[in-house]
């Protein structure tokens, strides 16, 4: 028995690895939520582009890898090296890959959100800036792997703060920019329809909540790492950071299918039965109007044909089209709003389908 190595003090082991255990546990829980959301997405979103489905499949693979690594962070020192004093000095091997794997998930998500902003705002400027900042975060995560491999001891964690600072600050800045641009872009898309405005408000609230969650998590990670030396407390939330990005993206995508399914249930099976879709140009329409109102015009002179017109997002365009048909049909026609929706060119942002409304 005298040949056995002394067991490290339990208090020291707890101080170092308890935050990592909490982070690995939360990461595993969020991974389960990712699986549920992935299943929901592939059940609801059948018409999305192939590259979007490949992106989500890539994120699923990366989340699986990061979850295994997170569990390995606590498995190695607490089980494989149980009782060895080396676990109090040298960080687990899997811990050194954490920054890079997180960036390999967060960067594609941020670029995807930047693409959505480009669609909404119809400008490349915020897209280019956000992509640049996201790539800076990826560079910081890659740099962190190199420095963590060179300085694996816990006492040397603060010897090279540039890499984690570049990673965490850049990713937080990108998240804040994404949230601000989405709020600004969506706020400019308000229409004269209250149902659309209420849906836009809901999207804005979700955008602020999710964007602030990832930004605050990354900033808290950076602040604690830089201000408090010889601590691992920040791993309590650092290890689950990648799951926040994936769940944020999946929740926004799955909200489309839920809204559409609910709207179609209320709208009834015959809302668009045997309708002829005609796109009316309007002087108020934009090149790619992200908000549309679909009006069903019933002509009493020809009951065998109903026409559906796609109008611009400006509510005055409705009045123009009403006057146009008033001159053609006299006053013998009615207008029924059969569907109001929010969409972009790839169907990434969609609003609910509402019951018919006549006026």
Query: pLDDT-based confidence at 218, cuts 50/70/90?
Result: confident
Q: Which residues fall within 8 angstroms of residue 188, CB to CB, at 6 or more apart? A: none
**Range 236-262 burial, b when 16+ CB lie within 10 A, else e:** bbbbbbbbbbbbbbbebbbbbbebbee
pLDDT in tens, 322-352: 555 555 555 554 555 555 444 443 444 444 4
Over residues 49-87, the pLDDT tens digits come to 899 999 999 999 999 999 999 999 998 888 877 777 777
Cα separation, 298 vs 149, whole angstroms? 71
Q: Which residue has the higher pLDDT, 90 or 94?
A: 94
Angle CA 317–340–54, to nearest 5 = 120
CATH (residue range 10-265):
1.20.1070
Number of other residues whose CB lies within 10 A of the CB of residue 52: 16
Q: What is the mean pLDDT of residues 20-37?
A: 94
What residues does each domain of the chain span?
10-265, 269-358
Q: Per residue in 103-124, pLDDT tens?
A: 999 999 999 999 989 988 888 9
Range from 165-174, 254-263, 310-319 that averages highest in pLDDT:
165-174
Confidence of residue 273 (pLDDT cuts 50, 70, 90): very low
% of the chain at pLDDT higher than 70: 66
Instruction: Give residue 78's pLDDT.
Output: 82
Residue 276 pLDDT: 37
pLDDT over 90 for what percent of the chain?
Answer: 27
Strands 306-311 and 334-342, sheet pairing: unpaired
In the predicted model, what is the mean pLDDT of the chain?
A: 74
pTM summary value:
0.71
Q: What is the pLDDT of residue 8?
A: 60
Query: Would you say residue 233 has pLDDT above 80?
Result: yes
Q: Which two tokens stand for residue 231?
A: 């601590």
Can you say whether residue 202 is alpha, beta or left, with left for phi > 0 and alpha for psi between -120 and 50 degrees? Answer: alpha
Q: What is the pLDDT of residue 11?
A: 66
């Amino acid at each position: 028995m005298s040949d056995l190595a002394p067991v490290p003090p339990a208090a020291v082991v707890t101080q170092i690895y308890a935050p990592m255990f909490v982070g690995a546990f939360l990461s595993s829980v969020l991974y389960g939520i990712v699986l549920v959301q992935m299943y929901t997405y592939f059940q609801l979103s059948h018409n999305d582009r192939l590259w979007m489905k490949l992106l989500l499949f890539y994120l699923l693979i990366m989340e699986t890898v990061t979850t295994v690594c997170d569990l390995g962070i606590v498995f190695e020192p607490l089980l494989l090296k149980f009782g060895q004093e080396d676990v109090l000095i040298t960080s687990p091997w899997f811990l050194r890959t954490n920054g890079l794997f997180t960036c390999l998930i967060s960067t594609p998500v941020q670029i995807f959100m930047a693409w959505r902003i480009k669609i909404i705002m119809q400008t490349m400027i915020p897209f280019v800036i956000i992509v640049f900042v996201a790539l800076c975060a990826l560079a910081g995560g890659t740099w962190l792997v190199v420095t963590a491999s060179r300085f694996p001891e816990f006492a040397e964690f603060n010897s090279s703060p540039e890499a984690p600072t570049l990673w965490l600050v850049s990713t937080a800045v990108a998240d804040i920019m994404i949230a601000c641009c989405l709020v600004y872009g969506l706020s400019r898309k308000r229409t004269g329809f209250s149902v659309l405005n209420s849906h836009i408000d809901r999207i804005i609230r979700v955008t602020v909540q999710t964007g602030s969650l990832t930004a605050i998590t990354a900033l808290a990670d950076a602040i604690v790492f830089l201000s408090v030396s010889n601590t691992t407390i920040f791993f309590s939330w650092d290890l689950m950071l990648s799951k926040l990005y994936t769940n944020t993206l999946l929740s926004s995508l799955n909200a489309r299918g839920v809204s559409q399914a609910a709207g179609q249930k209320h709208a009834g099976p015959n809302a668009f039965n045997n309708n002829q879709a005609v796109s009316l140009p309007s002087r108020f329409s934009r090149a790619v109007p992200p908000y549309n109102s679909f009006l069903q015009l019933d002509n009493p002179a020809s009951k065998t044909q109903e026409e559906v017109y796609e109008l611009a997002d400006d509510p005055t365009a409705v009045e123009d089209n009403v006057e146009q048909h008033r001159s053609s049909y006299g006053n013998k026609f009615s207008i029924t709003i059969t569907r109001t929706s929010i969409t972009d060119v790839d169907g990434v942002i969609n609003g609910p389908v509402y019951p018919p409304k006549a006026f």
